[in-house]
Amino acid sequence: MIDILFAAGPDDWADYETPLRAALDGHGLSYRLSRDLPPEGVDYIVYAPDSQVTDFTPYTGLKAVLSLWAGVERISPNTTLRVPLARMVDDEGLTRGMVEYVTGHVLRHHLGMDAHIVNPGHDWAPVVPPLATERPVSVLGLGILGRACAEALAGLGFPVTGWSRRAKSVDGITCQFGPDGLVKALKSAEILVLLLPDTPATQNLLDAETLALLPRGAAIVNPGRGPLIDDAALIAALDAGQIGHATLDVFRTEPLPAGHPFWAHPRVTVTPHIAAATRTGSAARVIAENIRRGEADEPLLYLVDRSAGY
């Protein structure tokens, strides 16, 4: 019998219980799934960072923690966690949602759609945008989500540069890595997409110095993590016209406080962390597959490198 503790909020339990049981049953596993199990008997914890579980010491038989979220910055540093940690990065619903969000907002900025949607003063201003082939886009972060978005944008004809901290190769994408590669990716980006994790190495990656490397009037789309951008530096760059617009889905504090200057800035679009929601059905299948793998002594999917933070 496999004991699986569901350590997330009550709303999550209501959403996940049925699809999780269906996915586990599909693998023929014998299990107990509950929000309340004796700690010493728990084999796996299905986890969300808003869980009440913060001390993993009592879970003496724990084999792995399986996160329902892609971001693990709130659990990865936990020193009481001494077992493998897997994150949710290949839920097909989450990936598809991110691709749709990114391509939608990139096309919005590329086509200049805001001017036509708002129609200020009923102006007839026939500004024809360039074709996608003439609009360079850079994607910072070439994990599963970043790669999927970069490939989708390249499929629309955009010349796409992808940047990662380590060397990667993606067909159809100009791949850069390391500090020199970052400079090249920024200098070419008329539209910049941020899909990096939140780690000490990526915090404030976009500051006054790096924002100045972008072509004047560049647009930024950030569905990655709020701390990737220095807020004050971004506002200054927007005010100066160095950055033409910023579409932001993630923030240092969420919900974004009512008095934050992003709300009222005419060159900022705020979306309420909706770019890539985990879909319960597909996420449940990922969790169940990892439990099956754990019981079969097979490598778990999407393990977190605790030293790197993602």
- Active-site annotation, residues: 225, 273
SS3 sequence of the chain: CEEEEEECCHHHHHHHHHHHHHHHHHCCCCEEEECCCCHHHCCEEEECCCCCCCCCCCCCCCCEEEECCCCCCCCCCCCCCCCCEECCCCCHHHHHHHHHHHHHHHHHHHHCHHHHHHCHHHCCCCCCCCCHHHCCEEEECCCHHHHHHHHHHHHCCCCEEEEECCCCCCCCCEEEEHHHHHHHHHHCCCEEEECCCCCCCCCCCECHHHHCCCCCCEEEEECCCHHHECHHHHHHHHHCCCEEEEEECCCCCCCCCCCCHHHHCCCEEECCCCCCCCCHHHHHHHHHHHHHHHHCCCCCCCECCCCCCC
What whole-number distance in Å separates Cα of residue 109 and Cα of residue 246? Answer: 10
Q: What is the largest CA-CA distance in the chain?
A: 70
What whole-number distance in Å separates Cα of residue 307 and Cα of residue 305? Answer: 5
Q: Report residue 47: phi and psi, to 5°.
A: -125, 145
